[in-house]
Amino acid sequence: MSKIPIRFYKDHKVHAIWDEDLNSWWFSVLDIDGAINQQDDHEKNRNYRKYLKAKLRKEQSEVVSDTTQQKLTAADGKKYNTEVIIQAGVEKLARAIRNQQKQFPIVGIVFVAIALLACGCTSSRSSAEHAAETKKAVTEALANKQLRINVRSMNPVRFAFRTVSYGFYLEIKGDKLVSCLPYMGQVYQTSTFSPQNLNFEAPIISYHETRPKKGLTRIELAVRTTEDIYHYQLDIYDSGTAYIRVHGQSRDSISFDGDCDV
């Protein structure tokens, strides 16, 4: 074993270890549980893990057989046996959690699988160094109001989650918003100026930035186009992950997942 970095999902640490023999990553199951449930309390994550594992065993789920024990370094610098799941089993674990918690959105399942599996291609550079550089770049982009979010998936209210092709994005350029986003949903009012996709460039008529919790910047802005007034809520994490929610007056809301182009 070598290359023992820390991944991030919604700014929650997910420890991983590289297996040279299997040419694959192993991820901490407890960390994945905590990241998906947005839970930082170690004891609560342990209790949830016991509950979920018992349920999966009762259901004879194959997710249980995908896990094993590996020594991972804890916060105190010591190595402890930790339950880990192989790279290919991450999405199955996320789906198992979702099945127990019906409110957990499918977008979260796919994102956590993509986010963690994609890490297998990253370099062995210090995760702390990378996180610091990303945070600095995100902070500067926000301060300058020069921020581009490349979109990877969308979650319509009437249709299933789906990934999107390359080239869709949202960009803040000073006092202007450039929206190049796909759209699926009901449009209640139409006109000759009403495109199906959210493609336009418009001046920002209101802009409000807050820091609701550590590691997260929330931007709430509005734009007026020839067809509607749109309200955007952007959740920008220091890690570069971004979530976009769009509300229009004459069409269904829609949300997107993506990454800051920093």
Mean pLDDT of the chain: 79
Give the side-chain half-sphere CA count within 13 A for 24: 11
How many separate domains does the chain show? 2
- Residue 32, classified by CB atoms within 10 Å of its CB into exposed (0-12), middle (13-18) or buried (19+), is buried
For the full predicted model, state whether its pTM sits above 0.85.
no
The pLDDT value given to residue 193: 45
State the Cα–Cα distance between residues 178 and 91, nearest whole angstrom.
Answer: 33
Identify which of 42-51, 113-122, 178-187 has the greatest average pLDDT: 178-187
Residue 179 pLDDT class (50, 70, 90 cuts): very high
- Is 226 part of any domain? yes
Three-state DSSP at 194 gives coil
- Better pLDDT: 157 or 130: 157
> Residues 184, 88: one domain?
no
> Residues 99, 211: one domain?
no
State the Cα–Cα distance between residues 236 and 254, nearest whole angstrom.
Answer: 17
- Is 163 part of any domain? yes
Identify the residue whose tokens are 């009403």. 194
Question: For the ranges 31-40, 113-122, 192-201, which has the lowest average pLDDT?
Answer: 113-122
56-77 burial code (b ≥16 CB/10 A, e <16): beeeebebbebbeebebeeeee
> Residues 41, 91: one domain?
yes
> Residues 94, 162: one domain?
no
> Residues 165, 187: one domain?
yes
Tell me which DSSP letter residue 47 carries. H
> Residues 68, 183: one domain?
no
- Secondary structure (DSSP) of 86-155: EGGGHHHHHHHHHHH-TTS-HHHHHHHHHHHHGGGGS--S-HHHHHHHHHHHHHHHHHHTEEEEEEEEEE
Calculate what percentage of the chain has a pLDDT beyond 70. Answer: 76
Listed residues 75, 95, 124: the one ending a domain: 124
> Residues 30, 15: one domain?
yes
> Residues 96, 169: one domain?
no
> Residues 25, 119: one domain?
yes
How large is the average pLDDT for residues 153-174?
86
Determine the structural domain holding residue 58 and report its residue range: 6-124
- Is 88 part of any domain? yes
- Is 136 part of any domain? yes
Residue 191 pLDDT class (50, 70, 90 cuts): low
Structure tokens that stand for 121 in this block: 């291609």
How large is the average pLDDT for residues 215-220?
94
Structure tokens that stand for 27 in this block: 């991820």
> Residues 86, 48: one domain?
yes
Is residue 150 within 8 Å of 259, Cβ to Cβ?
yes
Here the CATH number for the domain that contains residue 135 is 2.40.128.410
> Residues 149, 97: one domain?
no
Q: Phi then psi for 78, rounded to 5 degrees?
A: -90, 155
